[in-house]
Amino acid sequence: MGEFGIGQPVRRFEDKRLLSGNGRFQNDNNLHGQLAAYVLRSPHAHARIRKLKLTAALGAPGVALIMTGDDLVEAKLGVMGVPFQRKRPDGSPMFARAFLGLAQGTVRYVGEPVAFVVAETLAQAKDAAELIDIDYEALPSVTDTAEAAEGKIAVWEECPDNISNLFETGNKTATEAAFAKAAHIITRRYVISRVYAQFMEPRGAIGVWDPGEDRFTLYADVQYPHRVRQALATRIFKIPESKMRVVAGDVGGGFGTKGWQYPEHRLVLLAAKRLRQPVKWTCERSEAIQADEHARDNVSDAELALDKGGKFLGLRVKTLANVGAYISSERNLLATFGNVGTLTGTYDVPAAHVAVFAVMANTNGTAPYRGAGRPEATYVIERLIDDAARELSFDPVELRTKNLIPASAMPYKTALNLNYDCGDFLANQRKALAQADWAGFPARRDEAKAHGRLRGIGIANPIEKAAGPGQEFAEIRFHPSGNATLLMGSKNQGQGHETTFKQVLNEKLGLDPAAVQYIDGDTDRVAFGIGTNGSRSTVIGGSALWMAADKVIAKGRRIAAHLLEAAEADIEFSDGNFSVAGTDRRISVTDVAKASFHPGRLPPGLEGGLYETGTFAPEDNTYPNGCHVCEVEIDPDTGMLEVVRYVVVDDVGTVVNPIGLKGQIHGGVAQGLGQALMEQVVYDRQSGQNLTGSFMDYCMPRADAMPYIEIFSNPVPTKRNPLGAKGAGEAGTVGALPALVNAVLDALAPLGVKSLDMPATSERIWRAMRDARARPLP
Ligand code: MCN
């Protein structure tokens, strides 16, 4: 409706506040009398703590408290744990060990929290930490995923092979039968690197204890305040949920790995209670990569079975997924297993079987990170198709076209049990090929060659499982003056939620966005929420808001009928006004809201006030999909790579805000290209030290590494929610990994380079070219 309704390119309302320095990010919070905390972390990848003496540190100036693992045991803190059981490959129960919050005798990764020092100033806390007398006995460590799976060095003595559990999906027998009749079988190993979300604002937390109310408040930049409250209250502190408040202000980037409750949350709270003073911890940039969850990091052995003509018959994948040293919640496992279902992608694969081995290593835990398993899955299938095309001399586009699920086959149940409801994958591909001028590529390749450069083109047809079943909440709260406040259970971390949801509200009720106050992230103000992950906010939060607005209309209709002296059945609602059908008699929703607070203006028996809530839970996932085409040029002497063209066609169903969507796709592609081109967490194999502890070593993409990204939409609205929307926040990342690496390999193919693992740094490309040149021609 109008300039602010669904589908309008509305500029973000929140930007004025944020860009003028009026945001309230985590580190903007400071409380009267707060103390500063510092976390002493393990310098070893694996070691036994032989001695831990605090005497000197406790006597240091300004020190108020030092806690170690023993304090947490004494305080009887609980742990998160995994709410489901799986089996290990030998049939024995899953092996999982949760982290209590501070080391318990043995440290198992570099950065593991060992002691929590609270002092008047941060400098004093740091100085005191240096006085902690600690003696480690270093133990052998293993950080590489494939090596850890060999089980030569155990992270936990009780689990010598390092395999926590095995997750299987698909039909093994049917897949074996498909492979038995295949004309061709393509077998490859793909390694997906370990990366880390470099938030604009590193994490932080302030713990407050109110002795009068016997109640905690945590100020922290989390993605799901309500779930963090529930976890901290019921699992960690074992207190009623009402005794805990969690407040998240502006979140300086979340990307999945800022989602959950971290050890520092319970530590600031426990310390605040002991000291009866607020305790603040702020993660420093160089500390963050040791303190936070990491992402991806797996090795997949994949096999594709094809018939003679190139039709896919079956897919078999065995993945080793690094889950880190501790399994503190299901997050480690969901990151890798939650979305393996998308391994068959947008393709008609009649039989598939996947086995994912959760491998423990002396590393930080892994968690869902933008895409959470779908970029990994898409990378495997899309690279496998390109490798099959190259090996069997098919055209990569024709091979895809032959196997894409046609729109006429929708709804389509995949061999890995996903229920795709809608989407036109062939149309996405057609549009992307046209926009990227795929047909003109050979000429561009020749031209590049004439200039001494190698040019390559890559394609990927990603699909995502987004906004899965699970509730979300919205409340529209009118005030006696007729003005409204909008409260949402989803927590914004930069996606522009205020604008998106005000657009939905405007579409439904015609309210002027400038007059609506927007609130999220405070468990005392917002009744309920699940939070932002899995590209669920627009779909589920937006639908909850839609429901709340429907309730406002339903109640408003009764009030309007009374005020307009008409039958309720004759009242129509549109453009923010209730009107009597066929007349010019009307009353605005704002005036109806005002009337609702005057008992004398209400129909008999109707409760006063106008505040409505909506709680929506979809029955099934949405399946956003699309097509990415990437073109690169490589300098054959240095391996320097330039992404010269990038085209995305997306289908996220109904688009609420085309500018917001483009921003999300743009950021998502940049995040995917970052991983594919340069980002990587690297551990030293011998010592287990994290070698990428700063921006000097962990290479972040800069603007000049990014191409101009052309984005087009091909929306097919879903019927799984009233908006017709599909999730979009991760879509860009999912397609970018394979599109880039496929383009690189296409560029290098003439030299005989057959494989390359990400990140496609100039050094790796240069080595691959050198090795290929050194190989004798067959
Ligand atoms: N949108 C739209 N139409 C749709 C779907 C989305 O117009 N059909 C637009 C809207 O502007 C909406 C935005 O895209 O506000 C994102 O919507 P949605 O797909 O609902 O995703 P979420 O808001 O649930 O965000 C989650 C997603 C995830 S899982 C990660 S990780 C991620 C991402 O969003 N982290 C981000 N994008 C991020 N962007 C920023 N700036 N910071 C992060 O931490």
Does the beta carbon of 258 lie inside 6 Å of ligand 1?
A: no
SS3 letters across 396-434: HHHHHHHHECCHHHCCEECCCCCEECCCCHHHHHHHHHH
Residue 581 CB coordination number (10 Å):
11
Name, in order, each residue with C-beta under 8 angstroms of 399's C-beta and a sequence gap of 6 or more. 310, 385, 388, 389
Ligand 1 pocket mutation, candidates 664, 666, 711, 718, criterion most atoms within 8 A of CB = 664
Does the beta carbon of 660 lie inside 6 Å of ligand 1?
A: yes
Give me ligand 1 centre to Cα 102, in Å: 34
Does the beta carbon of 535 lie inside 6 Å of ligand 1?
A: yes
* Ligand 1 atom index nearest CA of 624: 8
User: What confidence score (pLDDT) does residue 474 get?
Assistant: 98
Tally of residues, the chain: 778
**Parallel, antiparallel or unpaired: strands 312-322 and 351-359:** parallel
Give me ligand 1 centre to Cα 308, in Å: 42
Which of 559, 557, 555, 564 has its CA nearest to residue 604? 559
DSSP-assigned letters across all residues of 421-474: ----HHHHHHHHHHHTTGGGHHHHHHHHHHTT-EEEEEEE--B--BS-S--EEE
Give me ligand 1 centre to Cα 727, in Å: 7
Does the beta carbon of 721 lie inside 6 Å of ligand 1?
A: no
Q: Can you tell me the distance from the alpha carbon of 661 to that of 500, in angstroms, rounded to the nearest whole number?
A: 10
Does the beta carbon of 655 lie inside 6 Å of ligand 1?
A: yes
* Ligand 1 atom index nearest CA of 539: 20
Tens of pLDDT, residue by residue over 245-303, are 999 999 999 999 998 889 999 999 999 999 999 999 999 999 999 999 999 999 999 99
Does the beta carbon of 315 lie inside 6 Å of ligand 1?
A: no
Does the beta carbon of 663 lie inside 6 Å of ligand 1?
A: no
Does the beta carbon of 256 lie inside 6 Å of ligand 1?
A: yes
Tens of pLDDT, residue by residue over 337-354, are 668 899 999 999 999 999
Q: Which helix (H) or strand (E) holds 661?
A: helix 658-677
**Which segments in the chain show pLDDT lower than 50?**
none
Q: Record the tokens describing residue 753, joined without a space.
A: 């380079």
Which of 553, 554, 548, 559 has its CA nearest to residue 606? 559
Give me ligand 1 centre to Cα 200, in Å: 17
Does the beta carbon of 718 lie inside 6 Å of ligand 1?
A: no
Does the beta carbon of 664 lie inside 6 Å of ligand 1?
A: yes
User: What confidence score (pLDDT) does residue 84 get?
Assistant: 87
User: What is the pTM assigned to this prediction?
Assistant: 0.97
Does the beta carbon of 533 lie inside 6 Å of ligand 1?
A: yes
User: What confidence score (pLDDT) does residue 766 get?
Assistant: 97
User: What confidence score (pLDDT) does residue 241 get?
Assistant: 98
Q: Note whether 246 and 218 are within 8 A (CB).
A: yes
Does the beta carbon of 542 lie inside 6 Å of ligand 1?
A: no
Does the beta carbon of 493 lie inside 6 Å of ligand 1?
A: yes
Residue with tokens 């990764």: 109
- In terms of Cβ atoms closer than 10 Å to its own Cβ (0-12, 13-18, 19+), residue 434 is middle
Which residue, by CA, sits nearest to atom 22 of ligand 1?
Answer: 535
Report the DSSP beta bridge partners of residue 713.
650
Give me ligand 1 centre to Cα 248, in Å: 17
Residue type, 407: A
Q: Note whether 38 and 125 are within 8 A (CB).
A: yes
Which residue, by CA, sits nearest to atom 11 of ligand 1?
Answer: 660
* Ligand 1 atom index nearest CA of 660: 11
* Ligand 1 atom index nearest CA of 256: 31
Q: Can you tell me the distance from the alpha carbon of 515 to that of 485, in angstroms, rounded to the nearest whole number?
A: 9
* Ligand 1 atom index nearest CA of 533: 29
User: What confidence score (pLDDT) does residue 440 get?
Assistant: 98
Torsion from C-alpha of 328, 333, 336, 342, nearest 10 degrees:
-140
Give me ligand 1 centre to Cα 580, in Å: 39
Q: Can you tell me the distance from the alpha carbon of 615 to that of 619, in angstroms, rounded to the nearest whole number?
A: 13
Does the beta carbon of 371 lie inside 6 Å of ligand 1?
A: no
Q: Note whether 291 and 111 are within 8 A (CB).
A: yes
Give me ligand 1 centre to Cα 728, in Å: 6
Q: Can you tell me the distance from the alpha carbon of 15 to that of 34, in angstroms, rounded to the nearest whole number?
A: 30
Does the beta carbon of 650 lie inside 6 Å of ligand 1?
A: no
Give me ligand 1 centre to Cα 513, in Å: 20
Give me ligand 1 centre to Cα 541, in Å: 12
Name, in order, each residue with C-beta under 8 angstroms of 353's C-beta and a sequence gap of 6 or more. 168, 169, 170, 171, 172, 174, 175, 176, 314, 315, 316, 317
Q: Note whether 556 and 736 are within 8 A (CB).
A: no
Give me ligand 1 centre to Cα 370, in Å: 10
